[in-house]
């Protein structure tokens, strides 16, 4: 029996000719990622190890992004801990204020993730890099510590689900709508510890930003990882951003999948996930009259330049509804600068939105947009669990940047006008 893309990557990293679903392997790592919340825990675990030091100073990325610039004393202490560790071990890829960004947007932009890589990160949305044909997955801080020390990690080889994407999406249907549709279809545990492998002619109709969004939210269906084939679009992105060599793996024709689905992109509509699970989806024509208090456009899911362009196009010349707080968060410093040079930030400010420095901030209920009791937010983030963005009696509605921007104008969940 043949192997899937993910299985081929893991086999190569383990030095094996083949692997099968369920097999336990030890794989060589190309990158270990941590942030300002998870890395201090990993550092303290490493202090217990007999072996001191890190396996490779260039293959560890530490990104200060969740509470940066620091919001309080505790977050400042966390960053100080990581900063001192990075200095001590001469970590090449340490990103702090002024050069940081939201980790899962920053690392591909910096050329640190390429096709064929095996990447672990102490953040659940590490699965983002599958958009470039890498195997990337989230782990706990203890596994991160072991990875930083040894450059290796144990995996159970996942089985896979194939998603065949066909057709061309309409104007305001994006990668966010694709993945919300899929999660609504299979549920938040529909791909539990499985590889979500995307293929089909429809992929060529998706930008890299769309693909990053889709792979980013594989974890919201329970997936071990999400992964895309390496086509001309992916190769062009890697050649623009990275100087590293990459390895292209393709699934065998006789690869085995637990399930297969065909998604007609042309049939999809803007989709919204209602509280309190990403699987609780409705198309925009099923939403009804839902008034809101806040809009957040940003995050590792939807804070890239394409996302800001769409939101600015809809907000340009319009005004955010009275009483609505609209917060825009470019995902990296480069995206911030590009958006400024294109005039997008001017569009946001003139519309009555506020633009933040890059941060995860409100996505995890950290800062820069916490919700009070009874408040509702349309957010381009990835999770809408109880209390995710603030008070346990607040509500988060997940949507695309297009729907979020349109909703900011009307004060209720709305479809963008074409």
Residues in the chain: 418
Quick one: CA dihedral 347, 349, 354, 357, positive or negative?
positive
pLDDT number for residue 218: 97
What are the pLDDT digits (tens) for 162-179?
A: 999 999 999 999 999 999
The mean of the pLDDT values for the chain is 96
Tell me phi and psi for residue 338, to 5 degrees: -60, -40
What are the pLDDT digits (tens) for 185-220?
A: 999 999 999 999 999 999 999 999 999 999 999 999
Cβ atoms 292, 195 nearer than 8 A? no
Cβ atoms 390, 375 nearer than 8 A? yes
Q: How confident is the model at residue 417 (pLDDT cuts 50, 70, 90)?
A: confident
CB within 8 Å of 111: residues ≥ 6 apart: 238, 241, 242, 243, 244
Give the separation between CA 130 and CA 113, rounded to whole angstroms: 9
Give the separation between CA 112 and CA 93, rounded to whole angstroms: 9
Give the separation between CA 266 and CA 271, rounded to whole angstroms: 13
Give the separation between CA 345 and CA 347, rounded to whole angstroms: 5
Mean pLDDT of 334-361: 97
Q: Which fold has domain 5-263?
A: Aconitase; domain 3 (3.30.499)
pLDDT number for residue 52: 84
What are the pLDDT digits (tens) for 14-73?
A: 999 999 999 999 999 999 999 999 999 999 999 999 878 999 999 999 999 999 999 999
What is the C-alpha end-to-end distance of the chain, expressed in Å?
Answer: 47
Q: In this structure, how many other beta carbons lie within 10 angstroms of the beta carbon of residue 154?
A: 11
Mean pLDDT of 287-308: 97
Q: In this structure, how many other beta carbons lie within 10 angstroms of the beta carbon of residue 45?
A: 18
Q: Does the domain formed by 270-410 have CATH 3.30.499.10?
A: yes
- For 279, the token pair is 């699987």
- What stretch(es) of the chain map to CATH 3.30.499.10? 5-263, 270-410
Of the candidate ranges 261-270, 292-301, 359-368, the one whose mean pLDDT is the lowest? 359-368
Give the separation between CA 218 and CA 158, rounded to whole angstroms: 14
């Amino acid at each position: 029996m043949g192997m899937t893309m993910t299985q081929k990557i893991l086999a190569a990293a383990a030095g094996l000719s083949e692997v099968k679903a369920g097999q336990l392997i030890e794989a060589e790592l190309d990158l270990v990622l941590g942030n300002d919340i998870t890395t201090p825990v990993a550092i303290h675990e490493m202090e217990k190890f007999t072996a001191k030091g890190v396996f490779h100073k260039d293959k560890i990325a530490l990104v200060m992004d969740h509470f940066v610039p620091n919001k309080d004393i505790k977050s400042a202490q966390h960053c100080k801990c990581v900063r001192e560790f990075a200095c001590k071990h001469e970590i090449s890829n340490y990103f702090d204020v002024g050069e940081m960004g939201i980790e899962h947007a920053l690392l591909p932009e910096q050329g640190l993730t390429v096709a064929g890589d095996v990447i672990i990160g102490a953040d659940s949305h590490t699965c983002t890099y599958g958009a470039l044909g890498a195997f990337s997955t989230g782990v706990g801080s203890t596994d991160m510590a072991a990875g930083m020390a040894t450059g290796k990690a144990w995996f159970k080889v996942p089985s896979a689900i194939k998603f065949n994407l066909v057709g061309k999406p309409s104007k305001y249907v994006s990668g966010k709508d694709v993945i919300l549709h899929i999660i609504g279809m299979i549920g938040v545990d529909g791909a539990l510890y499985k590889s979500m492998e995307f293929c089909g002619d429809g992929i060529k109709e998706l930008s890299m930003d769309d693909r990053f969004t889709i792979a980013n939210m594989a974890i919201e269906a329970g997936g071990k990882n999400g992964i895309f084939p390496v086509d001309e679009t992916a190769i062009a992105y890697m050649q623009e951003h990275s100087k590293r060599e990459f390895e292209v793996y393709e699934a065998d024709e006789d690869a085995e999948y637990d399930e297969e689905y065909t998604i007609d992109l042309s049939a999809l509509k803007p989709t919204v996930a209602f509280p309190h699970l990403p699987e609780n989806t409705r198309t925009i024509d099923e939403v009804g009259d839902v008034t809101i208090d806040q809009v957040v456009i940003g995050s590792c899911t939807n804070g890239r330049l394409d996302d800001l362009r769409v939101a600015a196009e809809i907000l340009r010349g319009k005004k955010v509804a009275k009483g609505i707080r609209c917060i825009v968060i470019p995902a990296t410093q480069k995206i911030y600068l590009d958006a400024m040079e294109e005039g997008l930030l001017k569009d946001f400010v003139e519309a009555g939105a506020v633009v933040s420095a890059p941060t995860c901030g409100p996505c995890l209920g950290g800062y820069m947009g916490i919700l009070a009791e009874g408040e509702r937010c349309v957010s381009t983030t990835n999770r809408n669990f109880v209390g995710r963005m603030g008070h346990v009696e607040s509500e988060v509605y997940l949507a695309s940047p297009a729907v979020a921007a349109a909703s900011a104008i009307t004060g209720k969940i709305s479809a963008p006008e074409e």
